[in-house]
Structure 1
């Protein structure tokens, strides 16, 4: 399914959003901010009892059935929140330690009294194999007094050993809902807990990660302030575009003036979303981010939304930031 959110046997979607309608129009939207307990219940994430059980193989041939143990691997399973049945999640290594969804929320909950944040969204994807929980921080960021950003913390994990428990700091630009991603070599805006035997102890120390978050936002704001105070000509912007999306030497005139380039020129030069920052290197970066979030070709808007913050989309944003930073 395009949005990848889990649909349960009772027809409910394993997703919750506080006060704002979800971009995919699925799940439960609440009127008020949610506590950790409420977000687990509303998003159908509570009581999964994720656990690891022994893994066996079964060989069937003309001699009969032979069970074969797999001592260096295990199987993760959960209790389905709607049916109560036991469900397969994934194959994991012998040193893999399970993390409950409640612990994912608790990683963020440990930061609430320090930051005043509140839970914003939560959900399950890929049939319960991936889980996310986000919190919105109480105060945003205004770059040079004109460009407003909301600030979020996001905790994500997998129950099939495809991803660690991870916390990310993410600024979201108000005027066009662009998700900003700084290059990690500039500022470490994430904190990772591997699924190993000492993960519970590390989770209890999650407050230490908060300092990294504030440092990330501070560094992001400092870099943005520099960019918003530096002019960017259209010629300079087109050179950046050429480095992000290089054309072959024998590319046709049509290819050199395709819809992507026309859209990017419009976004940095004429779009209302850049009105207060027009003509700056920061506007050039925002134009590229807006293009990736809202205009880049994608099979569905959901695919575009995921790509904007992961994979190629996130990599291009980080590269653009490096090229335009002064």
Structure 2
């Protein structure tokens, strides 16, 4: 049994627990401070609400993503056909104001193929038309260099009783050449608004479809037919439901909890000598002790422990030296996403004997 309050008297729920009653404030750098959402607003508190069931045109307009990008040769590249500059191109966001310089989003190679925002949204049309999904949220980061569209699929995953997980398809696209087009399968746990990672078969990668920005981009994206992708998604979510259910039925001991956290947030030699815990351990314990985000039924289980780690990562304060949009970048696309995948892979070993060693 994980006796979080008794073992950690220094943990104060009023100050350390990131509950719904006292969520940390979030500085933001969402593109043009604009995001569209259907239903409850996203946890960063920004956005333009649209009706559930909004179509492509309504959603892309509400999210302020109804603009195009273009790829231009680097200045002077034509003068030096044998230089590296000849193969460099600039991706710019086109502005309606002719007196405003089109913002530079990234530098890419000759074969880089842009994916316009409208094409990203239209990828979901077969799902919308067949009633399989509805738009949930859409927006962009920075100056528009990364765009995302999130659609909620029908049917939820029920782990135990009222512990429900919503299923989503997340399409993300970079206009700066930093990443491929990604269609990722993800979940949100309703009770705590955790963004959960789904792992691929084998558990070492996220469950997603990646399409590089090559000349075959649009053909490959079109080939990911709705029926095929829906089947892939159903398989991924079916596997997730089985994993999550086993995690919820597996109790964890105090020793297993500490070994799990040691793998994720290692203690220093001094902390080990003094019997002290890192700050992130205390934050995880605080989440476990918070009944508004950790139901008593799953508190002392692998599922509860894993979600406490995810909650701590999703809602912890952004460091001052990070850019203002750091949290969203981190939990969806950066080190937070990698940490959550590691936490899931590690947690799934807890219900398989032998336990962590």
TM-score range, shorter chain: 0.7 to 0.9
Q: Is the contact made by 2:250 and 2:302 (CA closer than 8 Å) also made in structure 1?
A: yes
**Residue 136 of structure 2 corresponds to residue 120 of structure 1:** yes
Distance 1:296 1:323, change over 3 A: farther
Equivalent position of 2:72 in the other structure = 53
Instruction: Write the mapping of 1:81-96 to structure 2, written as runs, cut at 5 A.
Output: 87=102, 88-96=104-112
**Residue 332 of structure 2 corresponds to residue 313 of structure 1:** no
5+ long unaligned stretches in structure 2: 1-25, 352-357
Instruction: Write the mapping of 1:99-114 to structure 2, written as runs, cut at 5 A.
Output: 99-114=115-130
Equivalent position of 1:21 in the other structure = 41
Partner Cα distance (2:312, 2:47) in 1 = 27
More RCO (CA 8 Å, sep 6+)? 2
The size of the alignment, in residue pairs, is 313
Partner SS state of residue 6, structure 1: strand
Q: How far has the Cα of 1:188 moved from its partner?
A: 5.2
Q: How far has the Cα of 1:269 moved from its partner?
A: 5.1
Q: TM-score, normalised by structure 2?
A: 0.78
**Residue 251 of structure 2 corresponds to residue 231 of structure 1:** yes
Equivalent position of 1:201 in the other structure = 219
Partner Cα distance (1:130, 1:42) in 2 = 17
Q: Is the contact made by 1:77 and 1:86 (CA closer than 8 Å) also made in structure 2?
A: no
Partner SS state of residue 264, structure 1: helix
Instruction: Write the mapping of 1:1-326 to structure 2, written as runs, cut at 5 A.
Output: 2-7=27-32, 13-48=33-68, 50-57=69-76, 68=80, 70-80=85-95, 87=102, 88-114=104-130, 116-184=132-200, 185-186=202-203, 189-207=207-225, 208-251=228-271, 256-268=276-288, 271-274=291-294, 275-295=296-316, 298-299=319-320, 303-325=326-348, 326=351
Q: TM-score, normalised by structure 1?
A: 0.85
Of Structure 1 and Structure 2, the greater strand share is in: 1
Q: Please identify, of 81-90 and 117-126, the stretch whose mean Cα deviation from structure 2 is larger.
A: 81-90
Q: Please identify, of 303-312 and 156-165, the stretch whose mean Cα deviation from structure 2 is larger.
A: 303-312
Q: How far has the Cα of 1:103 moved from its partner?
A: 0.7
Runs (4+) of structure 1 exceeding 4 A deviation are: 66-69, 81-86, 252-255
Q: How far has the Cα of 1:45 moved from its partner?
A: 1.3
Partner SS state of residue 49, structure 2: strand
Q: Is the contact made by 1:181 and 1:314 (CA closer than 8 Å) also made in structure 2?
A: yes
Partner Cα distance (1:20, 1:81) in 2 = 31
Distance 1:263 1:160, change over 3 A: closer
Q: How far has the Cα of 1:135 moved from its partner?
A: 0.7
Distance 1:5 1:139, change over 3 A: same
Distance 1:306 1:90, change over 3 A: closer
